[in-house]
Amino acid sequence: MDGECCLNKSARMVFMLDSARRHPFTNAIIEAPLPDNWKGFNRDQYDDTTDPDEHMDAYTTHMSLYTSDDAVLFQVFPTSLKGGAVSWFTKLSPNSIDSFTTLVSKFETQFATSRPHHLPSIALVGIRQKKGESLRTFIDRFSKMAMSIQNLSPNVAMHHMLLALRPGPFADNLCMQSIGSLDELRKRATKFMQLEELREFRN
């Protein structure tokens, strides 16, 4: 009798815990063990006011140091949230998340309006290298603007760069040799920055 009572009590406890849980994951995900070297998520938490894509990139990069197991990525993800993002997460239907792809999709869709506004490539038209402005300062300014433009073509970037540069060795080099990527453009610019700065140092 006592055994039956204890069994019923345990069953009720399991039922209560299961009913009260506030996560959308399946049991298989929750039961997966965390890595032995896990020390907790210690980066900035997402509060629904910033770029969700940036948060997800930071989260997966951080987690890749410990595991590639999707179940662990699931379990830890709620600890990367705060404020309104936590409220959204706890309202997801139980057992509604069965893959990390689904979780990412729901998260990025929910907070899509928090993404920063991306500029069109035409925004580069207004950039010009100022008289006396160093190549390094100009390239930094140009790069920041280019980074705000989604899917910017290297050819379009080089076209605007040529229009923006004051006449000089770097502009001549770009005219003579085309580039294949924005990374290549920055690497090539670095060489000319160093030459320019060395020349100024000698003067």
111-117 LR contacts (CB < 8 Å, sep 24+): 111/46, 111/48, 111/52, 111/85, 112/52, 114/48, 114/49, 114/50, 114/51, 114/52, 115/51, 115/52, 115/53, 116/51, 116/148
- CA quadruple 87, 41, 33, 31: dihedral, nearest 10: 0
CA-nearest of 56, 42, 111, 100 to 74 is 100
pLDDT of residue 180: 77
The total number of residues shown for the chain amounts to: 203
Per-residue pLDDT of the chain (203 residues; tens, 9 = 90+): 444 344 343 333 333 344 445 668 777 777 777 777 777 777 889 988 888 888 999 999 888 888 888 888 888 898 899 999 988 988 888 888 878 888 888 998 898 888 766 666 777 888 899 988 999 999 888 888 887 777 778 888 888 888 888 888 888 888 888 777 778 878 888 888 888 888 888 87
Q: Where are the domains of the chain?
A: 2-114, 121-202
Q: Which residues contact 186 (CB under 8 A, 6 or more apart)?
A: 139, 143
Contact criterion met (CB below 8 Å) for 18 and 94: no
pLDDT of residue 25: 75
The model's pTM: 0.50
